[in-house]
């Protein structure tokens, strides 16, 4: 790997770490300015002033905000995400299984949506301005216009209530047979696929059409290559960098944007865990989940940037 590429990769990684640090400050500040008293929410309205004061001291709530932030950040760096206020359970232990569930759901949604989006994008370019292109683009626009909660409720109504093909509540547990687990995530994975499929397809189509205006594509057409060979051999490889960026952004959404879908299907993932503890005003859990989501989103964006840099022939073969 050449020096310009290494420099750019190092810059992207450093920028990502700085951005994650800035996000950690925002997350901590956002949870601190929430209305209400954490000690009061834990002990209830009948708590005495003395018990409230003792609990605030125990939780370190009387310390200045910057001290609490660095204490929390130091714990995160060492792998200690703290203890949930509502259940007194270790957050890292509780998150482990739920993070795996979210990644499992996002993985299978990506396995379906990414190849399908690229194939549909290639077909739309191959038959551009024709019936197939207009049909695919129209369905993609309709899918983009529908919010994920509406898509989720439609899927539940038709496939769980009316046809009873799949369960409406996606219950999974440790040791669950693979087939049953796949059936349980069928509807939420379909909802996520429909949410990201249209955007990836439209951006794939736009990226390839942009490359199709290049002189070397016109030369390939003049040589008598078929339209599909021109797209497959010349246009698509040179449009791969923006397509990778779009795919990575949507993969980040599949992991970070699952909150609504998990709540609709009562799926025991990170999103459901976050919503449950927001309602309990469990600040350490909200901070931990928010930081994990931010780290995943920033990490996937860094991977997209690095992949785009490596895919750039002008950087791989500098003059």
In tens digits, the chain (319 residues) has pLDDT values of 557 778 888 888 889 899 999 999 998 888 777 666 666 666 666 677 777 777 677 766 667 778 888 888 888 888 888 778 777 788 888 888 888 888 888 889 889 888 888 888 888 877 877 888 888 888 888 877 788 888 888 888 888 888 888 888 888 888 888 888 888 888 999 888 888 888 888 888 888 777 777 777 677 667 777 777 777 676 777 777 777 878 888 888 887 778 888 888 888 888 888 888 877 777 888 888 888 888 988 888 888 888 777 766 555 555 5
In CATH, what class is 100-283? mainly alpha
d(CA 241, CA 304): 8
CB 218 within 8 A of CB 259: no
Every domain of the chain and the residues it spans: 100-283
pTM given for the model: 0.79
């Amino acid at each position: 790997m050449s020096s310009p590429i290494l420099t750019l990769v190092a810059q992207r990684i450093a920028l990502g770490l700085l951005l994650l640090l800035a996000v950690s400050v925002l997350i901590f500040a956002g949870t601190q300015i929430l209305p209400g008293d954490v000690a009061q929410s834990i002990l209830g309205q009948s708590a005495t002033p003395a018990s409230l004061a003792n609990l605030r001291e125990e939780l370190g709530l009387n310390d200045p905000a910057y001290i609490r932030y660095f204490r929390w950040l130091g714990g995160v760096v060492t792998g200690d995400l703290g203890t949930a206020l509502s259940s007194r359970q270790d957050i890292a232990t509780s998150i482990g299984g739920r993070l795996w569930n979210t990644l499992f759901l996002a993985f299978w949604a990506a396995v379906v949506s990414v190849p399908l989006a690229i194939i549909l994008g290639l077909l739309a370019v191959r038959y551009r301005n024709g019936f197939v292109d207009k049909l695919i683009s129209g369905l993609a626009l309709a899918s983009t216009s529908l919010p994920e909660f509406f898509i989720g409720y439609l899927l539940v109504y038709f496939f769980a209530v009316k046809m009873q093909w799949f369960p409406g509540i996606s219950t999974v547990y440790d040791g669950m047979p693979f087939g049953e687990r796949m059936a349980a995530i069928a509807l939420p994975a379909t909802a996520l696929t429909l949410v990201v499929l249209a955007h990836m397809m439209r951006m794939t189509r736009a990226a390839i059409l942009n490359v199709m205006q290049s002189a070397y594509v016109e030369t390939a057409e003049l040589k008598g290559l078929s339209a599909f060979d021109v797209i497959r051999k010349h246009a698509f490889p040179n449009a791969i960098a923006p397509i990778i960026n779009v795919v990575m952004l949507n993969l980040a959404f599949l992991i970070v944007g699952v909150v609504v879908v998990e709540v609709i299907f009562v799926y025991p993932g990170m999103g459901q865990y976050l919503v449950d503890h927001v309602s309990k005003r469990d600040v350490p859990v909200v901070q931990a989940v928010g930081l994990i989501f931010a780290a995943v989103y920033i990490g996937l964006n860094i991977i997209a940037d690095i992949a785009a840099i490596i895919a750039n022939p002008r950087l791989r073969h500098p003059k």
